[in-house]
Chains A and B, each alone.
Chain A
Amino acid sequence: MAEIKWEKEMDAALARAKAEKKPILLDFFNPN
């Protein structure tokens, strides 16, 4: 089953967003 390919660092997400010209989905979560 496919899964969402989450980035775990903001800097990596920003670099990809600029390179791929896509907006960022930023999810703040609580694992508990």
Chain B
Amino acid sequence: MGAVTYPDANVTEFVNNRMIPVRLLSDAQPYAKDFNIKWTPSIITLDESGTEHHRIVGFLPPEEFIPAMMLGIAKVNFDLDRFNEALTELEKIIAEYPKSKATPEAIYLQGVSGYKSTKDPKPLKAAYEKLHAEYPDSEWAARALPYRLIS
């Protein structure tokens, strides 16, 4: 990550503008034990109080790193019931990174966020339809399969 992804200009700009970056050695205590670190790189998204919401283990190239971090930010907002903020982030991932491996999960979470913020199940069915049409082989298409029955 230090040789390829972090020096990338777009990655640098994104991280410096959108997140608070902190780097620790993989054996730094008590954090390595607290976060159960077994391999590197382990890249974790935390909320402002230090609670984990998203984790990536292993290398990501620059073009995958940014949408993966955006998904982490969306998950922070989703988990804290800030659905409008989550939806804003998810819509950006879907629009700007349609080929990213993070995008099918973003579509799924968009459907769930839409449902939880409105109690209207239509966003769940819309998520299934988009996943089925555009990402039929993704695990998230399979996870959304029950939503095909929503009328």
Q: Which residues of A contact B (CB under 8 A)?
A: 1-10, 12-14, 16-18, 20-31
Contacts and interface: CB of A to CB of B under 8 A. Distances in A.
A17 B48 contact: yes
A30 B58 CA distance: 12
Interface of B: 1-2, 6-7, 9, 11-13, 15-16, 18-26, 28, 31-32, 35, 37, 40-50, 53, 69, 72-73, 76
Contacts of B16: 2, 4-5
A24 to B, nearest CB: 4
A22 B49 CA distance: 10
B22 A25 contact: yes
A18 B48 CA distance: 5
